[in-house]
Amino acid sequence: MLEFYKILAKLTRKASRLAGKKGTDLPGKVLRKLDNNVLSKLASKYDEIVFVTGTNGKTTTSNLIGHTLKVCNKDYINNFEGANMLDGIISTFAIQSKNNTKLAVIEIDEGSISKVMNYITPTKFVINNFFRDQIDRFGEIDTLIETIGNQLEGKNIQLILNSDDPFVTRLAKYGKNNIYFGINHDAYNFSDYGISESKFCPNCGHELVYDSVHYSQLGFYRCAKCDFKHPEVKYNVTNAVVEPFIKFSVNNGEIIETRLAGDYNIYNLLAAYSLLKELGLADEEIHQGLGSYTSKNGRMQSIDISEDATVLLNLAKNPAGLNASLAIGNVIKEDINYLLVLNDNGADGLDISWIWDTDFNILTNQKIRNIICSGKRAKELALRLKYSEIKANVIVNENIAEAVSELKKYPEKYAIAIPNYTALTETQKELEK
């Protein structure tokens, strides 16, 4: 029966793509209609199932892991297309499965963890960060973490946790033989993204004390009233440089040179490094994989729009993510342009008030010529910029194709395009034309 499911999934994907769709979720939907327990059956043959989650960076982290495994000729499956909800994950297991493959690396939407874990339990779980994101979908962060904790409890899962995020380390009590990764307090001076999401101890409710902060709630924290504190780490970034691509070392080891920009990606690289080490890969294999990865999925993707101009495309769907994307311009010394694209479709979260929590003052010291606001909520973006008194020419065009066409007319060497979730695909397509 499983072989029939696999064949049906591949045929469904083919039909979906012929109809102009991606075909990432539909096979899973069809299989689940036939057999509600199909995911459990498909996943039963795997010895190692790794989940990767976090509000920001889970796709990049998962793709870094998958790319490295591929470069090193390891057998695995991975939902590299970002189909990270239940039906997409079913599709991944059905379509990619091979007889001898025993490792699955699965990016999972943090809001889908409960649904997916009704059917499968991972052996390892990489958790990178939690930020306020799509409140109308997930609720507040405390609610989300409590929900995830309820799913983890009693499962004996090895958690691989970002030690610098107190939201993440709150989940440590639910894991077994946990591994921690983090960035040394003096390894890199992050841009000031603003926004501190976590202020209070999860144990006693007392305000947390920070000895140093990387950005937002990420840093070295402790509670003055109880024993909750930043845990000791196994994998520690001891040096990092961003110029604009990241070079970093772990535990004072050899420098790894990458093709990823954006200093927040240091955490994604470290999360991938930590998991790969725990899977038993050698240092030289990890260095080769991480060093050769280039994004093609709108996460710090570099797109040449002419012989002389390049766009850095990066998805952002919450204040922390948008702040980090805006900060990319801080390392560019030439005049630059921006394209900001904001939709409010269901998958985005209907509440876009989070743009008012974004620190657009990050742009103040950048040499910006033009900012194009596009998407269904382009006017709100322009209004938000007006209140920040950004000294740039602001253009409003809700039509994404027209907005990209306008961007391509500018002579400046660099532009930064920042769409939210449902705006990403169209923005990427138009930039690549």
From the candidates 283, 351, 357, 359, give the one annotated as an active-site residue.
351
CATH number (domain holding residue 322): 3.90.190.20
Residues 309 and 261 in one domain: no
Is 357 an annotated catalytic residue? no
Residue with tokens 């490792």: 103
**pLDDT in the model for residue 345:** 93
**pLDDT in the model for residue 196:** 62
**pLDDT in the model for residue 82:** 73
Q: Are 330 and 414 in contact (CB under 8 A)?
A: no
DSSP single-letter state for residue 231: P
CA 199, CA 207: separation in Å to the nearest integer? Answer: 6
Rg (CA), the chain: 21
Residues 171 and 47 in one domain: yes
CA 59, CA 53: separation in Å to the nearest integer? Answer: 8
- Could you report how far apart the first and last alpha carbons of the chain are, in Å? 43
Q: Count other Cβ atoms within 10 Å, centred on residue 100.
A: 6
Residues 103 and 249 in one domain: yes
Residues 314 and 269 in one domain: no
Residues 126 and 29 in one domain: yes
Q: Are 284 and 21 in contact (CB under 8 A)?
A: no
**pLDDT in the model for residue 243:** 81
Residues 387 and 267 in one domain: no
pLDDT tens for the chain, 433 residues long, are: 889 999 999 999 999 888 887 778 999 999 999 999 999 999 999 999 999 999 989 999 999 999 999 999 999 999 987 789 999 999 999 999 888 899 999 999 998 999 999 999 999 999 999 987 544 444 478 888 999 999 999 999 999 999 999 999 999 999 999 999 999 999 999 876 555 666 788 888 898 999 999 988 899 999 999 999 999 999 999 999 998 789 999 999 999 999 888 888 999 999 999 999 999 999 999 999 999 999 888 888 989 999 899 999 999 988 888 998 999 898 888 999 999 999 999 888 888 999 999 999 999 989 999 999 999 999 999 999 999 988 899 999 999 999 999 999 999 999 999 999 999 999 999 999 8
Residues 58 and 11 in one domain: yes
CA 325, CA 377: separation in Å to the nearest integer? Answer: 19
Answer with the one of 225, 259, 292 that is the final residue of a domain: 292
Residues 320 and 373 in one domain: yes
Find all residues with CB under 8 Å of 171, minimum gap 6, and list them: 127, 145, 148, 149, 152, 159, 161
Find all residues with CB under 8 Å of 116, minimum gap 6, and list them: 39, 86, 89, 108
Query: How many domains does the chain divide into?
Result: 2
| Domain ranges, residue 362 | 301-432
Q: Which amino acid is at 255?
A: I
Residues 156 and 45 in one domain: yes
Collapsed DSSP state (helix, strand, coil) of residue 391: coil
**pLDDT in the model for residue 138:** 43
The DSSP string of 308-363 is S-EEEE----SHHHHHHHHGGGGG--S-EEEEEE----GGG-S--GGGGGS-GGGG
Q: Are 314 and 262 in contact (CB under 8 A)?
A: yes
Q: Is residue 185 part of a domain?
A: yes
CATH number (domain holding residue 126): 3.40.1190.10
State how beta strands 368-374 and 336-341 pair. Answer: parallel
**pLDDT in the model for residue 295:** 87
User: Could you tell me the two tokens for 298?
Assistant: 């709108």
Residue 19 has φ and ψ, to the nearest 5°, of -85, 5
Q: Is residue 210 part of a domain?
A: no
